[in-house]
Chain A
Amino acid sequence: MRLLSYFRGEAFQRGVHPPSCKLTASAPIRRLPFPERVVVPLSQHIGKPPRAIVKVGQEVVRGEPIALADDWLSVPHHAPVTGVVESIGLRPGARGPWSESIVIRALPGATQEDLWGKPRDLSQAGPAEILAAIRDTGMVGLGGAAFPTHAKLTVPEHAKVHTLVVNGCECEPYLTCDHRLMVEQPDALIVGIRYAMRATGAVRAIVGIEDNKADAAAAITAALARCGPVPEGTIHAELVPTKYPQGAEKMLVMALFGTEIPAGGLPVALGMVVNNVGTLAALGQLLPAGRGLTERVVTITGPGVARPGDYLVPLGTPLRFVLDYAGAGNAEAREVILGGPMMGQAAASLDVSITKGVSGVLVLRGDVLADTLRRKTYPCIKCGQCVESCPMGLNPSTLGMLAAKREYDLMGSDYSLGECFECGCCSYVCPSNIPLVQQFRVAKQMLREKAVAKQS
C-alpha cells in the first residue's frame, strides 16, 4: 500500500474521495440581510463560556462587547446587530442541550454599521500584545472546531515555532466558504498570516490548498507578488492532492512535510502551528480595525437549497431565517446539517442559530436521504474497506466488532481508539452500512467518563 500511495503521488496514506459537490465554488460571497432578532449563545467555543455583561432592555451597538471572558481559554462575544437586548435565558443550542443565550432585537432604523471598532496600529506590537488583541476580537477557529485562536497561537514555554501552516484544504464536500475567501480576500489573508507569524515567531507560512482550488492558490500567489516581500519571513501557497480528510492538521502536515506528528502530540512538537484560512482572513480584517467578530462566511448549500451560495451571515442569525432566504423552506428538505456532510452535525431544530464554528449549512432532500435510508445494515463482512480508508491507520472493522460487544477498554488499550478523530471515512465506505463512527463516538465518551470517574 505504501508503494501504491507513493506511485500515485498521494500526500498521506489511505483516506477517501467522496464526490466533491462544490456547487457554490464560482459564485461570489453575498451578504445575508440582518434578521429581526439574533440569538447569541454564550457557549460557542471550546473552553469556558464568557459572562454576559448586558442587561435586558439595554441598547447595544453592532460590534460592542456583550459578554466578557473571565478565563484564559475563553473569548468575548460582540453584538452582531445594533438593537435592544430582549432577553437573556435558555434557548435551544446547536449541540442539543439548551444553552444560555442573549437575544437581541435589531432596530429597524439602524444602519448596522460597525461603529464600535477603533482602528489601531499593531505594526510595532510584540507577540503578547497581538495575542491579547486577537483575544479581544473574540476569534475562534472558524474551520469548525471553534478553539480559541489566541490559545492556539500561544507557543508553550520551552517550545519554538518556525512554521505557520495555513489550512486552506476545505476537504469536506459541498463547503466552499474558505475557497471563496481565498479567492476574494487574499490581501486580508496575508495580513492575518503576518499577524499570526509575529504572534508565534514563525519565519515561514505555508498555505496548504487542495488542487481542486487552483484559482485560490493563484489568487494568493498574485496577492503575495503585489504586496512584495514581508518582513516576517516567507509565505508560500502550496497545492496538495485532493483527498479527504486532508483538512485534518495531522494529514496536512503529512502532505506538506512528509512526516507524521507523533501520536498524542500537537504540531507544535514539530515547531508548527496550524490555523484555518477563514480564521486568519477574518483576523486580517478585524485586527487593524480593532473590531470584534460579528459575522462569518457560511456556505449554504445542498440539494435542498434553491439559491445555494456563500453568505456573509451575522452571528446569531436563526437557521430558519437563513434557510428561508436561501430558498430551503420547502417541505422536501429533510435533514439540515451544520458543517459538511462528512463530519457535520444534524441540527435538531431550526431555531438554533449560526455560531462562530458553523462553516456550512447543508440541506439534504428526502429523496437523496432515501438512498441511505433504504440501505440495509448487514453484519460486518470483513471486506477490509474501512482498514484501507482509515487515515489514522486504525482497524475500524475490529473496533466495530468490539464496540458491538461493549469491549470499550480493549478498544482503547489495544486498538488505539483514542487516535480516531471521527473523520467518517470508515462509515462512508462501509458496504454493510454499519454506523462505525457513531459506535466509536459512544465508546470514546464511555472511556472519557470512566477516566473522569477514576480521577475523582
Chain B
Amino acid sequence: MSIEIRPAPHIRTPVSVETIMRHVVLALVPICLFYVVQYGLSALLSLTVITATCVLAERLFAATGTQSGDIGDYSAVITGLLLALSLPPAFPLWMGAVAGFVALALGKALFGGIGFNVFNPALVGRAFAQAAFPQAITAYSPSFLPGRFLEAVPSSLAWPLMQPADIALWLKDKQLDALAGATPLAKWKFEGVLAGAEELVTSLSGHMAVGPSPALILLCGVYLALRRFLDWRIPAAILGSAGLTAWLLFALSPDRFPNPFFMLFSGGLILGAVFMATDMATSPVTPKGMWLYGALIGLLTVIIRYYSGLAEGVMYAILLGNAATPLIERVTQPTPFGKSTLARLGHVRRGASYPLHPGYISREDAGAVTPQKRFMFNKPKPAERRKPNEPRD
C-alpha cells in the first residue's frame, strides 16, 4: 500500500474559485434575461458581443502568457456581463467590443490576471468607453419599445470606427419621439424631472431608460450574500452611506436635491453596490475595511452625481474606492485574539456561562456557595445542582 503525505488540513470546503464565479454568473442570468426583455435585440447583441470579446481577450492573454487564467473560472464572463449591463443597451457593438478588450487588457492582464487586478476590470472598460465615446455612452434608448425583438436599434449596428446613428432621429422616424431616451438621473440633472418610485424599482412600466432592474439585482444579491459568495457588508455600507448623505442634503434643501430614495434606485448605484464594488480582488478583506470602503464609495457617488458635470457617479466612486483599498486594508487590520484593549482589561462577554472567578476562592471558606451561572442555557436543572459541603447521605 503506497501512502501519500500532505500537509494538514486534510479536508477542504467544496467551495472553490470556480464555484464562487459560477454562482455569480448564475445570479446575473435573471438580470440579463430581464434586461433583454426590456430592451430587446439590441441588449441581447450587446451582452453577447461584449461577453464574447472579454472571454476571447482573456484567452488571448492567457495564451500569450501575459496573465494567469482559466476559462473555467468564469471571471471574464462576469466582467463581460457587468460591462454590458453598465453600458446603454443600444451602445454600438464595435465600441462595446473595444471597451471589453480594454477592460481585460488594461484592467486585468496588465496586472497579471485573476486576483492581481487593482481596479474592477469592467469599470476600467467602462471608464475607457466614457472617455473615448462620450456621446454614445449617454445615448439611451427607451425600454419596452414596440417591435424591440424584431429589429435592433440602429445605433447598435454602427460600422466599426463609425459614429452611430442618432437614436432621437430614429425614434422620430418611428413616430415614437414622445418616449425620450434619457436615464432618470440625466432627466433629473439636466431637466429637473424626478422619476416615480415604482418605475425606478421594478422598471416594469413606461418607457424610461432605467437600465437593469434594481429590485431583481437586489434579489440576486441577497441570494449571493446568503450563500456567502459576496460580502453583505459592502452593499450595506454603500447603500447606507449614499442614502444617508442624500438624506442629509435633501433635509437641508428639498428643492435643490432629490429624495434619497431616488438617489438609491436610479442609475447604476444598485448594480455597482451589489456586483461591482463587491469584486473580491479589488475590495478590502478586513471586515472593518469593508465598511469603510463602502462608506467611501457611497459618499463619493452622491458628491459626484450632485456636483459634477456627469449624471452618473458610481463608476468613478468605485474606481476611487478600489484605489484606496490597499490603504484601507492597512489601517483596518483585525485585532488578534487576546490583544484588544478590552481583553487586556479583562472584559467578559455578556451571557458567558460561568463567572470568571468562583464565588469563593478557598475551600476553607465556610460560607462557600456554588458559583451560579448567569444564563439558563445548557446547564443542569437546579434540582440536580449540588451544594458544596452538603453532608453525604
Contact = CB atoms under 8 A, between A and B. Distances in A.
Interface in B38-94: 68, 70, 73
B146 interface: no
Contact of A343 (B9, B346, B360, B392): B9
B15 A419 contact: no
B353 A382 contact: no
Contacts of B73: 378
Contacts of A237: 380
Contacts of B348: 257-259
A382 B393 CA distance: 63
B285 interface: yes
A391 interface: yes
B380 A334 contact: no
Interface string B335-372: 11111101110111111111111101111000010110
A428 B12 CA distance: 5
A441 B9 contact: no
A336 B3 contact: yes
A173 B8 CA distance: 13
A155 interface: no
B7 A416 contact: no
Contact of B363 (A203, A345, A383): A203
A427 B9 contact: yes
A378 B114 CA distance: 8
A228 B393 CA distance: 8
Interface residues of A, number: 103
A380 B340 CA distance: 28
Contacts of A233: 358, 363, 388
B6 interface: yes
B11 A428 contact: yes
B343 A362 contact: no
Interface residues of B, number: 81
Given A260-B340, A395-B285, A380 B115 contact: yes
Contact of B378 (A238, A341, A382): A238
A238 B378 CA distance: 7
Nearest to A264: B338
Contacts of A347: 3, 5
B1 interface: yes
A306 to B, nearest CB: 14
B116 to A, nearest CB: 6
A229 B387 contact: yes
Interface string A33-60: 0000000000000000000000000000
Contact of B338 (A236, A260, A376, A380): A260
A392 interface: yes
A97 interface: no
A224 interface: yes
Contact of A384 (B11, B114, B285, B335): B285
A109 interface: no
B378 A239 contact: yes
B128 to A, nearest CB: 23
A397 B387 CA distance: 50
- Secondary structure dominating the interface of A: loop
A431 B6 contact: no
Contacts of A238: 353-354, 378-379
Given A162-B358, A260-B337, A345 B17 contact: no
B254 interface: no
Contact of B4 (A240, A346, A378, A433): A346
Contacts of A203: 358, 360-363, 368
Contacts of B335: 393
Interface string B114-131: 111000000000000000
Interface stretch (A112-120, A127-135, A146-154, A325-333): A325-333
A234 B343 contact: no
Given A239-B378, A348-B5, A362-B10, A388 B384 contact: no
Nearest to B7: A438
B244 interface: no
A239 B20 CA distance: 35
A273 to B, nearest CB: 14
Contacts of A229: 386-390, 392
Contacts of A341: 8-11
A397 to B, nearest CB: 5
B329 interface: yes
Contacts of B11: 18-19, 173, 341-342, 372, 428
Interface in B238-287: 280-281, 283-287
B6 to A, nearest CB: 6
Contacts of B6: 335, 346
Contacts of A452: none
A88 interface: no
A194 interface: no
Most chain A CB within 10 A, of B114, B354, B379, is at B354
A334 B6 CA distance: 11
Given A343-B8, A416-B339, A270 B356 contact: yes
5 A-B pairs with the lowest CB-CB distances in the bound complex, closest first: A258-B352, A258-B349, A424-B9, A379-B115, A260-B343
Given A257-B356, A385-B228, 19 more contacts: A6-B350, A221-B384, A234-B358, A236-B380, A240-B353, A240-B378, A257-B352, A259-B343, A330-B1, A335-B3, A383-B285, A391-B337, A397-B285, A419-B336, A419-B337, A419-B338, A422-B8, A428-B12, A441-B7
Interface of B: 1-17, 19-20, 68, 70, 73, 112-116, 228, 231, 280-281, 283-287, 290, 329, 333-340, 342-344, 346-358, 360-363, 368, 370-371, 377-380, 384, 386-390, 392-393
Interface of A: 1, 6, 9, 16, 18-19, 160, 162-163, 173, 203-204, 206, 211, 221, 224-225, 228-229, 232-234, 236-240, 250, 254-265, 270-271, 329-331, 333-337, 339, 341-350, 362, 364, 369, 371-372, 375-376, 378-388, 390-395, 397-398, 415-416, 419, 422, 424, 427-433, 435, 437-438, 441
